[in-house]
């Protein structure tokens, strides 16, 4: 099958920072170990949750190296590689780091607002040059362009494009993708709290933010839904609703970094222009953690 390695639950890993703002590699090792213990299916490095726009190229390479060395279970690794300069991205594929990953996650070009024809040409060019399979990433709330279902379905015919992380939140768009896609093309939820309904419609899994903090709960939710055990999946989903609000209310990964700090996994440090969440939301985060601890 075209994309079996990326079914189930992937985690969009955060990048821990020390109090001085440098990358905290020991914290990153703890985070990877924590997620591996939760039964995930693959790891995603340098997605939006990783604060990738504020990391230098050398820092990105060092983060990937730390994740690879910490990946004791040998899970597949997807590396975030997107740009709004197609030629620059294709040139980046010459970097040896791509020999250590299993696929790339490539976001729709941001800021220059290409047309649907431009988006299709961009991704076809990337797929032609990438040494590993490509997973598209549609997140119009960040890029200001929507990769429409019709464009995605054209791209799904490309031999080196395996699936899409769909974070538009548009159920009509998701319906069209799931109804008309090739059988082996993966539609992956890009939003934690709509993962369960998307799974019921035929999505293959999720690339999750919450799985940084609660990998076992989220992977169990996904696995139960994929088995058709929706009563069990729904129970877990509903138990995570408040945590989902906390992680998104003042932006990702600000909420996540606070929760990871409260869980003792890493510091809650962010790089500007991101800032920590409000004291009021932090109180709610601690209360939500306590409630989830009670539920086990």
- Secondary structure (DSSP) of 144-202: S----HHHHHHHTTSTTEEEEEE-S--HHHHHHHHHHS-TT-EEEE-SGGGHHHHHHHT
Report yes or no: 101 and 79 within 8 Å, Cβ to Cβ.
Answer: yes
Candidates 171, 105, 103, 169; CA nearest to 136 is: 105
Report yes or no: 219 and 39 within 8 Å, Cβ to Cβ.
Answer: yes
Q: Which residue's structure tokens are 């799904």?
A: 156
Candidates 209, 176, 194, 245; CA nearest to 10 is: 209
Candidates 225, 221, 218; CA nearest to 203 is: 225
Q: Is residue 137 annotated as a catalytic residue, yes or no?
A: yes
Residues 6+ apart with CB under 8 A from 245: none
- Considering the candidates 165, 181, 257, 282, report the single residue annotated as catalytic: 165
Going from the C-alpha of 161 to that of each of 72, 167, 170, the distances in angstroms are 27, 17, 22
Beta strands in the chain (DSSP E): 8-12, 42-45, 77-80, 103-107, 134-138, 161-166, 186-189, 205-208
- Considering the candidates 7, 42, 60, 137, report the single residue annotated as catalytic: 137
- 3-class SS of residue 142: helix
Q: Rounded CA gap, 265 and 248, in Å?
A: 19
Q: Give the number of other CB atoms < 10 A from CB of residue 274.
A: 17
Q: Among all residues, which ones are annotated catalytic?
A: 137, 165
């Amino acid at each position: 099958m075209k994309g079996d390695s990326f079914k189930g639950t992937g985690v969009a890993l955060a990048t821990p920072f020390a109090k001085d703002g440098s990358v905290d590699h020991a914290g990153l090792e703890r985070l990877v170990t924590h997620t591996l213990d939760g039964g995930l299916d693959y790891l995603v490095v340098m997605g939006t949750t990783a604060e990738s726009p504020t990391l230098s190229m050398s820092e990105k390479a060092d983060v990937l190296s730390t994740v690879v060395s910490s990946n004791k279970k040998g899970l597949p690794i997807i590396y975030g590689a997107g740009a709004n300069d197609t030629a620059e991205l294709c040139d980046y594929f010459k970097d040896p780091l791509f020999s250590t990953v299993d696929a790339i996650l490539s976001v729709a070009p941001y800021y220059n607002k290409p047309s649907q024809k431009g988006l299709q040409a961009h991704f076809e060019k990337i797929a032609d040059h990438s040494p590993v399979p490509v997973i598209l990433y549609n997140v119009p709330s960040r890029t200001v362009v929507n990769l429409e279902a019709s464009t995605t379905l054209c791209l799904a015919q490309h031999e080196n494009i395996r699936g899409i992380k769909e974070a538009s939140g548009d159920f009509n768009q998701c319906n069209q993708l799931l109804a008309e896609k090739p059988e082996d093309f993966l539609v992956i939820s890009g939003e934690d709290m709509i993962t369960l309904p998307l799974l019921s419609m035929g999505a293959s899994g999720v690339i999750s933010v919450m799985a940084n903090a609660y990998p076992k709960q989220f992977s169990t939710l996904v696995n139960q839904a994929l088995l058709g055990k929706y009563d069990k999946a729904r129970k877990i989903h509903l138990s995570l609703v408040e945590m989902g609000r906390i992680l998104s209310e003042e932006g990702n990964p600000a909420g996540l970094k606070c929760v990871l700090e409260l869980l003792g996994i890493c510091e809650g440090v962010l790089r500007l222009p991101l800032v920590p969440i409000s004291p009021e939301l932090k109180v709610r985060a601690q209360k939500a953690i306590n409630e989830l601890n009670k539920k086990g």
